[in-house]
Structure 1
């Protein structure tokens, strides 16, 4: 039997962690999996590839200047 309850609560991060710790192990693992799932969708990957190809083409035409690997690393 599954029950649904919609509640709008304001909790601190600590309070949320404490509530999550009270969940059974299986549900706690499922919640962690959902919260950590940040893999891009197929559409996001294709959009990123398209933008990258457009940027490379613009650089080949000398319309933009790409950063060197060193400049890129220094930004991180």
Structure 2
């Protein structure tokens, strides 16, 4: 049987790990990798900004995006 804990506070994690170890449970941390396309877009955006190909926006411009 698998058990997944969600929304565990960092301060509680050592206690839960110690309890699981004491009870003989196996602890497995599963990393969810980012979507490769998302990573590619973010890296390209950073590169564009470094090469002055970014867009300058005012607070009003940004506010319009929300509406």
Q: What TM-score, normalized to structure 2? A: 0.38
| Greater RCO structure (CA 8 Å; 6+ sep) | 2
Q: Give the TM-score of the pair, scaled to structure 1.
A: 0.36
